[in-house]
Structure 1
């Protein structure tokens, strides 16, 4: 199978558009007030305000590598989830094998194992509240104010589990005047989406409210040739309510509650092969003799990649609840901020692993977790940008976190010697406490120094309850069945402590041109190998990273062009990797690694109403020291030295180009034309066999807006060229030789229309 790909010449052309980092003309920069005046007249790009550094700041003046997308941009690009976000964010890569199986990487790092005690390396926050479980991470985007993606370790202000970076999603807040909107859209595969919000004052100048909702339904894209049913549908419901209380000018309290539920009638995966007729022999051959099992037909790739054969359709879903209370008191020269958060997540997954019709092999997994967090910050309010009288700003804080939950997996197979029934349950209990401080001092009017540090202590306790039976043994050195004759309880706990500093030097070359250099450290929690066969539980060390970065931000041509870029080098120790133990069960290994690369983003207002945005990243992650074990084998003969090789699961380059053009129809409103192109490099497995080919795809949207902007009617086409590519998936049978894999194909070309009414 060879998906549509981007030619090397086209890739270089797109890179040339996205990488004009040598452009001069900084002498024409303007100050912030002038830039805002130009923006109000439609002659300059808007100023973007972010809270990435735990205070409100102009994005162009934050010495860090950050991408920020506002709610309007998210809607124009049809970004519905955090997975969609990766296509328009340099160095961010997200893929989802199913509901609740999202994997995040930034700069090539961040994926985690399936152990309940293993944490992600990309920290996700919703309204400043940490979401610890990746199963709850693929948020449905609706009624969003903006999304901020911070690249590189965020150890001082964001804390643990942000070794690769952090994503902060901020909801739209209640408005002082009554307003709202409603939108409905219909598209291919009977996709019907409805969303809306209503906002306004409940008590004049004292109490405000906002309520938003989302419904999203779509038929399945896959066909199960065994059962005749469809799979991979969409069924999502979500709602959010916000109350904002302002009894005085000094005090504000914001209470947020959210709920979301998604389910699918199973996730059916494709068998994808680069060699015609190659058989997928996972479970279909005898692991001792290597010979085919009598009466069992190994499956091969289907003619239609969105069809597959599975004995069951399976079912998957997730339901989340969350709440937060954000209180701010404006004292004399500083703010006191308190953020209290609670998150719950319940998910389930049932999937057929056998793939051959004669084999019954399926897993059923259920996860249930609860977490609570409390953060208190003191934040100085005086600005200390160039030209300000004040030269010093600071942030102090304390953070506490608790999580408890469980994941239970039941496995059934009818294939000797893997036959049997297994059930094992992991239970987690985590407590973390941190104190942090960061200060910025302007050494000279155009030279600033930022220094921050965070101390974190964390304790984890994991218990595993296992019940399993199987047909007796397999010879030593051969593949081992995951079904171990055992009824046992294993329990262990461990505490880790870390200090994570950050130092940044920024230098302004002009009013709107800045360079910065930074050194930062991050860490990701350690954990335990929570899969069978038997006690005791083996722990794995925390992941540590030192990051070195040079960056640039600037505005040119009266703020009609904004440019940012960074080069980085990250050095990892005890990089946590998902691999498989001698029983074929997912587990966590550690390695030393490094990642280096470059990121560039540019926005340009070419003429009133015509805006172009482009971005690119080139990431080169590599193992420095890593001896990998082939899944299903226990002997040294089946280990491989991967030192010096590319880290799997990550594309080296990611390019995007998008454009928006607004054409006035006079008294009849405006026409808005939007288009985007994305190009992504190929991806290899951990064992350097081809995982997914490079690809390019484009989307277009045309909208009509009424003169008062209260009505918007849009038509859109996604994946215009009907490009086919591999999104990610499960294991292959022989990592070092086979060119066959099991996983998901992207959505085909789809189209639809929407109507939006605002008031």
Structure 2
């Protein structure tokens, strides 16, 4: 370990010395802001550059776009960026299920790592909880598609969502907003910037509150609304700029959520729990019935997550040094029954904390070579106490603690080898260590109780990237790249036997090829960015129930069960045909298929006996991988004539997502075939359970705003909006418990049609 730390330190020192030896910023560096004020600036490669000169498939959304579309959370990106699906986790606080290019992660268990890295102000969020962010205080969002392992690290095999909040300003300013809407929605969101010491110290204070009654209906309580939430997000930032070449930005914030964690029922006749559940919750329609619940009023969810981030930048002329230090912790306490009307209830009490430190050096050497290099450290720990009661029996008790530690060193370079031709690439070396310890107590079956030893394992991975781009003129760039992504191995935090709680699973990897073009046409009124990709996805981590020789009970384990081939196409288009009108469109096509997804799984045949069969899941759909995602959004601003100094702004958007599955689980229709199949036979699984499929979504959002210009620096805004105008309802996450037989099923519901109005002030 000591030698590894020395190596990483040496890498950073070398990169710093190279930058110090370099001349000042070269004349040949592209002008980004001063000479090109219309450019969209992104930091997709940890350096500020125009999106049109960045050889990465990236969709960038600015804060004004999100405001005009009345977007509320990160979930509103779904469909707006090609091949991106984002849904609410349902069983975790502020949790998001995110899929990019057919690679998804849909679990709130903190022993598992996300497949999409969500970065807030340069800080990686290590779990899916806390990722469903509010959009109000957002400066920009970048959606990077494809593996980003070189610069953003492990657990970014699908891509990265890079979120940048607004920075404190050296002038008294701010924006305030009140909103009312359907289902008892009310929000107050406020940001104020204060110059503490002119041009030296600036402060930003923010407070956001959102509440709603929820859009589920409790059939046992006169149809009253359930699923309500109360969210708070508040904090402060300080920007210290004592000189022209140094700045320090410190942000302290806290996220608080109290919510009613009800879930809709997907239970069908034939499920093991069906006969004991209220008939009104059995055999409901997948699109409408899941909005009806029967749930105890004692259910609750509580989430608290404070954090602090410190970013420092030092510009030494030929080199820029950046340090990002962050600490975040969270506590969640959730009492939930998973759409089972109380038949299966859990109380999950969790604590989590993470610490990360990144040091980067960036600069240029001569006129044709620039680089970013650095080292990274991440450490986390979580503890879970879970009590589970089935059919009112005395609860079982699970106590699990997980530890994670990661070291990495990386470098990324651009080299203009010929006029208009650049080679880019680099690599990242990552060392991961994970540990887990679980104890389990079952009052009804003492023989099942155990205290497993603490187990640990380590993984090392090098994730390279290489690319080439060619700019025949200032309005066109062609590029191609190959990159490798890596998702860490680990241990199963749901293991409830010594075997399953101590069995490690190995990392996932993806090799991704991408080719694309970026173009600006018609005097830059039309932007067309295209990308085609092919991904070879290996070692896919999958939870399953397996039979283990010498162990009587079936084991729920995580195994590297399959591989997959994924290919597709993407388009991002922006058109500004006349003054005041902007039309944005996105299209994504994904063709994803499993390879070699074969597992041995027990099939229950009686109360005390079982047989095992081999199942081939290669024919089922991958989860959260719609073949088509598409969107078009138009924004039109009209100045109002006369004495009123105001603008009228219209915004209309349409998003389409084709159907997709939400869990890998065999269709119960093959259950008789599996039982009758001879021992040693392989049973083909043609599809997942149909109730786990989200139907095609057609989502229309519209808004109209009047923006009053009160003076040179003050604007007032009145907005009316409708989200999901067609009231397109259905599931956004779905799950069935166990298989052969299914015990029961549950789901979260999509937001129905919502009306609302906003009153805003910006000064």
Task: With the length of structure 2 as denominator, give the TM-score of the two structures.
Answer: 0.85
Which residue is equivalent to 1:431? 405
Which residue is equivalent to 2:248? 253
Query: Per-residue CA shift, 1:195-247, capped at 9, x if unaligned?
Result: 11111311111111111111111112112223555311121110131101011
Count of aligned residue pairs for this structure pair: 688
For 1:542-561, list aligned pairs within 5 A. 542-561=507-526
Matched, 1:163 2:188: no
Which residue is equivalent to 2:704? 702
Residues 298/716 of structure 1: CA separation in 2 closer, same or farther (3 Å cut): closer
Instruction: Decide which of 342, 359, 384 is 2:327's aligned counterpart.
Output: 342
SS at match of 2:757: strand
Deviation at 1:725, TM superposition (A): 2.2
2 CA distance for matches of 1:730 and 1:204? 55
RMSD value over aligned CA atoms? 2.7
Moved more, 630-639 or 447-456: 630-639
2 CA distance for matches of 1:295 and 1:49? 55
Matched, 1:71 2:63: yes
Moved more, 308-317 or 653-662: 308-317
Deviation at 1:579, TM superposition (A): 3.8
Matched, 1:411 2:396: no
Moved more, 553-562 or 627-636: 627-636
2 CA distance for matches of 1:699 and 1:542? 40
2 CA distance for matches of 1:378 and 1:352? 50
Tell me, yes or no, if the aligned pair for 2:208 and 2:232 is still in contact at 8 Å: yes
Residues 745/632 of structure 1: CA separation in 2 closer, same or farther (3 Å cut): farther
Instruction: Decide which of 662, 669, 672 is 2:637's aligned counterpart.
Output: 662
2 CA distance for matches of 1:241 and 1:581? 50
Residues 509/139 of structure 1: CA separation in 2 closer, same or farther (3 Å cut): same
Matched, 1:91 2:83: yes
Matched, 1:652 2:637: no
Query: Per-residue CA shift, 1:89-145, capped at 9, x if unaligned?
Result: 111111124243421111111315555322111111110011101112112222110
Deviation at 1:743, TM superposition (A): 0.9
Which residue is equivalent to 1:50? 42
Tell me, yes or no, if the aligned pair for 2:729 and 2:750 is still in contact at 8 Å: yes
Tell me, yes or no, if the aligned pair for 2:293 and 2:339 is still in contact at 8 Å: no
Deviation at 1:565, TM superposition (A): 1.4
Task: With the length of structure 1 as denominator, give the TM-score of the two structures.
Answer: 0.85
For 1:35-434, list aligned pairs within 5 A. 46-98=38-90, 99-100=92-93, 101-111=95-105, 113=107, 115-228=109-222, 230-271=225-266, 278-279=268-269, 281-284=271-274, 299-301=282-284, 305-311=290-296, 314-353=299-338, 355=340, 360-380=343-363, 390-414=367-391, 419-434=393-408
Residues 139/631 of structure 1: CA separation in 2 closer, same or farther (3 Å cut): farther
Query: Per-residue CA shift, 1:248-300, capped at 9, x if unaligned?
Result: 1111111111111112123231438xxxxx5262424xxxxxxx579999733
Tell me, yes or no, if the aligned pair for 1:151 and 1:166 is still in contact at 8 Å: yes
Matched, 1:564 2:512: no
Deviation at 1:351, TM superposition (A): 1.5
Deviation at 1:737, TM superposition (A): 10
Tell me, yes or no, if the aligned pair for 2:89 and 2:108 is still in contact at 8 Å: no
1 CA distance for matches of 2:289 and 2:76? 24
Matched, 1:589 2:559: yes
Which residue is equivalent to 1:517? 480
Matched, 1:723 2:728: yes
For 1:532-543, list aligned pairs within 5 A. 532-536=495-499, 537-543=502-508
Higher relative contact order, structure no. (Cα contacts within 8 Å, ≥ 6 residues apart): 1
Deviation at 1:750, TM superposition (A): 1.4
2 CA distance for matches of 1:702 and 1:586? 51
Matched, 1:453 2:427: yes
2 CA distance for matches of 1:326 and 1:34? 22
1 CA distance for matches of 2:146 and 2:364? 26
Tell me, yes or no, if the aligned pair for 2:602 and 2:610 is still in contact at 8 Å: no
Residues 347/116 of structure 1: CA separation in 2 closer, same or farther (3 Å cut): same
Tell me, yes or no, if the aligned pair for 1:584 and 1:632 is still in contact at 8 Å: no
Which residue is equivalent to 1:24? none
Deviation at 1:742, TM superposition (A): 2.4
Query: Per-residue CA shift, 1:447-483, capped at 9, x if unaligned?
Result: 0001201111111111112111336xxxxxxxxxxx9
Which residue is equivalent to 2:3? none
Tell me, yes or no, if the aligned pair for 1:354 and 1:362 is still in contact at 8 Å: no
Residues 747/48 of structure 1: CA separation in 2 closer, same or farther (3 Å cut): same
SS at match of 1:83: helix
Query: Per-residue CA shift, 1:516-541, capped at 9, x if unaligned?
Result: 11010111110012334322410000
Tell me, yes or no, if the aligned pair for 2:89 and 2:106 is still in contact at 8 Å: no
Moved more, 728-737 or 87-96: 728-737
2 CA distance for matches of 1:293 and 1:220? 27
Deviation at 1:702, TM superposition (A): 0.4
Tell me, yes or no, if the aligned pair for 2:628 and 2:658 is still in contact at 8 Å: yes
1 CA distance for matches of 2:380 and 2:32? 48
Structure 2: gaps of 5 or more residues: 1-28, 548-552, 667-686
Query: Per-residue CA shift, 1:11-47, capped at 9, x if unaligned?
Result: xxxxxxxxxxxxxxxxxxxx9889988x97xxxxx32
Tell me, yes or no, if the aligned pair for 1:112 and 1:119 is still in contact at 8 Å: no
Which residue is equivalent to 1:443? 417
SS at match of 2:183: helix
2 CA distance for matches of 1:247 and 1:59? 31
SS at match of 1:530: coil
Tell me, yes or no, if the aligned pair for 1:106 and 1:122 is still in contact at 8 Å: yes
Query: Per-residue CA shift, 1:366-398, capped at 9, x if unaligned?
Result: 22111101111110057xxxxxx8111011101
Tell me, yes or no, if the aligned pair for 2:60 and 2:142 is still in contact at 8 Å: yes
Deviation at 1:57, TM superposition (A): 0.7
Tell me, yes or no, if the aligned pair for 2:204 and 2:238 is still in contact at 8 Å: yes
SS at match of 1:157: helix
Residues 295/187 of structure 1: CA separation in 2 closer, same or farther (3 Å cut): closer
Structure 1: gaps of 5 or more residues: 1-30, 41-45, 273-277, 285-291, 383-388, 472-482
